[in-house]
Structure 1
Amino acid sequence: MSQIHNGMAADEMTSVRWVKASASDAMNDCVELARVGENEIAMRNSRFPAGPALIFTCSEIAAFVDGATKGEFDGMTV
């Protein structure tokens, strides 16, 4: 495996463990996250496991989760 980088094929990240929310269904409609470094987290779409993985810092993920918790993205799920 080459060094992990933003936009690489997620299925090439063989050393990581992908996790998803328990609310995700069994039909692969989920966003999956994997820790890829001390301060980095990869995100992928489970419908496209060979698609690109986006790499975020832990603080970027924390800001996103905070916004989601506060309902800032609620209008996007209807």
Structure 2
Amino acid sequence: MDLNEELRTADWRKASKSGSNGGDCIEVAPLSGGRVAIRDTERPGQVPFVVTASVWDAFLDGAKRGEFDF
């Protein structure tokens, strides 16, 4: 399956805690090869970012450690 087809049929999901913020959040979808697609919920038609498993893991690790907190 090519990437465009995989993105069209991807199982998009967003954080359960994002429901009360008016929809300003991102969605993620697992892809083949451990990759992860990321898109803006307000612009689902835009081409999503696709990152490798190691990039996604580094992002999650940073988020858990508070690296992106303001």
Tell me, yes or no, whether TM beats 0.5.
Answer: yes
Q: Which has the higher strand share?
A: 1
CA distance in 2, matches of 1:41, 1:21: 15
Amino acid in the other structure paired with 2:51: F
What's the TM-score once normalised by structure 2's chain length? 0.82
Distance in 2, matches of 1:59 and 1:24, equals 25
Length-normalised TM-score, structure 1: 0.75
Higher helix proportion: 2
Work out whether 1:14 is the aligned partner of 2:8: yes
After TM superposition, the structure 1 = structure 2 runs for residues 1-78 of structure 1, keeping only pairs within 5 Å, are: 3-4=2-3, 13-25=7-19, 27-75=22-70
Structure 2: tracts of 5 or more residues without a match: none
- Show structure 1 runs of 5+ residues with no match: 6-11
Which portions of structure 1, spanning 4 or more consecutive aligned residues, are displaced by more than 2 angstroms?
Answer: none
Q: The residue matched to 2:19 in structure 1 has which SS? A: coil
- Structure of higher RCO (CA pairs closer than 8 Å, 6+ residues apart): 1
